[in-house]
Structure 1
């Protein structure tokens, strides 16, 4: 049912944007941006429920919380970068959207370094000492 509401909101906003765009392009852009923001905020509760389940699974499996938090931050960066880039693209600024995506990728790489380090150390620990 929620998906029907989201699609309905998106369709109504799209029709309004198409009607308004010719006369007031700035209002059309603002309507698109606020519609996207509203949908994003509507989904925050669902994201919170998923995070709670993942934290419970991590606790039961003995995975250190720092790794789960890092992965969730990485996912958050990816979603926010994509959302921001799409809004900027809607405004016709492809080059800025590309820079936002680039920044998101760099931040994801920076956040992933501790996890990559642990994986490499684990693999190296499994290899027999060569000589």
Structure 2
């Protein structure tokens, strides 16, 4: 039922934004940003649960913890970049939002290099010499 609370908060925020936008656009943006942050904070507990489960699965399967941590960081970068870009888009700054998304993609590629290297090394070992 948490989704009902999240949707309810989103609807209330959207209505407030529509009412306030004509008179005070800055307040409308702040309401929108605040609602997004509250929703994000509400989900942090759920994210922690997912991280614990993934770490447990990695330990049981013998995967190096560094790879799981790297993948979780990559996922975090993707979510944070998307959230930031959406907030900036709400403020009417599509150009800056695009730059945030680009920065997120570049950081993801940089973080993925060690994993890509291991995959390539593993494939090379499997191929006949």
TM-score bin (small chain): over 0.9
Structure 2 residue aligned with 1:44: 44
| C-alpha distance in 1 between matches for 2:4 and 2:72 | 27
Alignment pair present for 1:112 and 2:112: yes
Listed one character per residue, the Cα deviations across residues 84-111 of structure 1 (whole Å, up to 9, x for unaligned) are 0000000000000000000000000000
Match of 1:20 in 2: 20
1:81 CA displacement: 0.1
Which residue of 1 is the match for residue 100 of structure 2? 100
CA distance in 2, matches of 1:94, 1:14: 20
Q: How many matched pairs?
A: 129
With structure 1 as the length reference, what TM-score do the two structures score? Answer: 0.98
Q: Which runs of 4+ in 1 moved over 3 A?
A: none
1:58 counterpart residue number: 58
Counterpart in the other structure of 1:87: 87
**Partner residue, 2:78:** 78
CA RMSD of aligned residues (A): 0.3
5+ long unaligned stretches in structure 2: none
Distance 1:5 1:27 in 2: 23
Cα deviation code 1:25-52 (max 9, x no counterpart): 0000000000000000100000000000
Q: 1:119 offset after TM fit, Å?
A: 0.2
Long gaps (5+) in structure 1: none
2: CA distance between counterparts of 1:91 and 1:16?
15
For residue 6 of structure 1, report the CA deviation from its aligned partner: 0.3
TM-score (norm: length of structure 2):
0.99
